């Protein structure tokens, strides 16, 4: 069967946070595209309870609001510094609405296969609509935004463990830990979140790590300023602790001491002035 000619446009796979911003940017540049999303709405990982989502009922952002929001669409002022997953989902959907993306998204339509054709200048994309047979469409290019956190990766260990094993992607609520002796393996954000929740629900909780980690607080001292707002790109540095503290001295010029209320007040004022300036230019989602 011949592929339907869509070579005037690009194909975007996935309508999570990456797919919708890819779509918005193409739209603003006047480049045509179609988005395919196998779930029935926008959200990806933040669409709690769907197969595409690995979050649990208590998940909040680990990245702060100013570091997470799109540069051209702010989260509401009155939201917490680390919003909960329902808020993140509402925000992503509001972004899709703000930039008029929904008409270009085919929901409940999974991409089954992609194949380069015409010497690699085009791509044949086979999709499975909810109500019929697969169809193949030819595109001038692909933008793959299918995420990766929805696919659990299990470690292999010698021997046999006869107790219950659960991957973090399948962990939703702490009732499954009630009264149990729980070993959490791994100290990424999933391991830490689940170990913390397990500590107040399971009979005993153990956390196993195979190396050491730096742990950063979500707040410095009593200030509500998230460290990401202070440290900025230093958060991505392997030398995080020393670089973050040297950046914080730039913000608190007098002493760098968190206990000094007056310098902390100045730092907050400067930060909120910056936010006010950007808020004037940027559409904001009001919930
Ligand atoms: C528990 C948890 C908490 C997290 N917290 C944060 C955080 O605080 N800050 C942060 O920045 N990141 C966080 N992340 C990382 C998270 O992955 C990103 O926030 C974000 O969701 C990635 O967006 P994405 O669009 O790339 O992928 P996803 O959100 O996974 O979206 C991919 C989309 O593609 C669709 N799709 C996949 N395959 C197909 C197919 N074949 N056909 C059609 N559609 C398809 C899926 O249905 C889904 O809607 C967290 C991840 C997890 C697991
Ligand atoms: N609250 C939140 O916002 C939140 C919650 C959960 C997840 N997330 C995000 O989701 C993404 C994935 O996080 P994640 O924590 O699921 O994964 P991750 O960051 O990749 O962490 C996996 C952990 O498992 C360990 N590990 C891997 N293979 C192992 C093995 N064979 N034996 C023992 N330990 C092993 C790793 O150790 P090594 O470090 O030594 O490899 C690491 O500690 C990240 O982007 C994270 O930020 C965010």
pLDDT per position as a tens digit, 22-66:
999 999 999 999 999 999 999 999 999 999 999 999 999 999 999
CB atoms within 10 A of CB 271: 16
Per-residue confidence (pLDDT) for residue 229, from 0 to 100: 52
Question: Ligand 1: which residues within 6 Å by Cβ?
Answer: 13-19, 36-39, 44-46, 52, 54-55, 59, 61-63, 68, 110-111, 145-147, 149-150
Ligand 1 site-directed mutation target among 49, 82, 143, 146, most atoms within 8 Å of CB = 146
Instruction: Take residue 142 and report the two structure tokens written for it.
Output: 């692909």
Q: What is the pTM of this model?
A: 0.85
Query: Is the CB of residue 6 less than 8 Å from the CB of residue 139?
Result: yes
Question: Which one of the ligands is nearest to 92 CA?
Answer: 1
H runs (alpha helix) in the chain:
17-28, 65-68, 85-98, 189-199, 227-231, 240-251, 261-281
Domains and CATH numbers, the chain: 4-144 (3.50.50.60), 168-208 (no CATH), 227-276 (no CATH)
Question: Which one of the ligands is nearest to 63 CA?
Answer: 1
Residue tagged 């200048």 (tokens): 121
Query: Residue range 174-189: average pLDDT?
Result: 97
Phi, psi of 127 (to 5 degrees): -120, 155
pLDDT digits (tens, 9 = 90+) for 51-110: 999 999 999 999 999 999 999 999 999 999 999 999 999 999 999 999 999 999 999 999
Per-residue confidence (pLDDT) for residue 68, from 0 to 100: 96
What does 157-216 look like in DSSP terms, one character per residue? -SS---S----GGG---GGGGTT-EEEEE--SHHHHHHHHHHHTTSSEEEEE-SS-----
Question: 52 alpha carbon to ligand 1 midpoint, in Å?
Answer: 7
Question: 46 alpha carbon to ligand 1 midpoint, in Å?
Answer: 7
Instruction: Take residue 284 and report the two structure tokens written for it.
Output: 């904001």
Per-residue confidence (pLDDT) for residue 282, from 0 to 100: 76
């Amino acid at each position: 069967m011949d592929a339907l000619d869509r070579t005037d446009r690009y194909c975007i796979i996935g309508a999570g946070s990456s797919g919708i911003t890819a779509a918005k940017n193409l739209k603003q540049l006047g480049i045509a595209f179609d988005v395919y999303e196998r779930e029935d709405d926008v959200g990806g990982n933040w669409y709690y309870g769907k197969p595409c989502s690995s979050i649990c009922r208590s998940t909040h952002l680990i990245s702060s609001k100013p570091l997470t929001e799109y540069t051209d669409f702010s989260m509401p002022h009155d939201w917490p510094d680390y919003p909960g997953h329902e808020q993140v989902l509402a925000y992503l959907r509001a972004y899709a609405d703000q930039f008029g993306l929904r008409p270009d998204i085919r929901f409940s339509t999974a991409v089954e296969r992609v194949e380069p054709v015409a010497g690699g200048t085009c791509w044949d994309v086979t999709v499975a609509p909810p109500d019929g047979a697969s169809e193949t469409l030819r595109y001038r290019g692909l933008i793959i935004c299918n995420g990766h956190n929805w696919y659990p990766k299990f470690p292999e260990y010698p021997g046999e463990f006869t107790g219950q094993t659960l991957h973090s992607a399948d962990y939703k609520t702490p009732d499954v830990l009630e009264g149990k002796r729980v070993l959490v393996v791994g100290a990424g954000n999933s391991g830490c979140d689940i170990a913390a929740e397990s500590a107040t629900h399971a009979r005993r909780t153990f956390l196993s790590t195979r190396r050491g980690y730096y742990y950063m607080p979500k707040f410095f001292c009593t200030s509500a300023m998230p460290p990401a707002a202070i440290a900025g790109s230093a958060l991505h540095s392997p030398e995080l602790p020393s670089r973050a503290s040297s950046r914080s001295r730039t913000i608190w010029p007098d002493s760098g001491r968190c206990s000094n209320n007056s310098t902390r007040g100045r730092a907050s004022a400067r930060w909120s002035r910056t936010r006010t300036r950007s808020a004037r230019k940027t559409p904001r989602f009001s919930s």
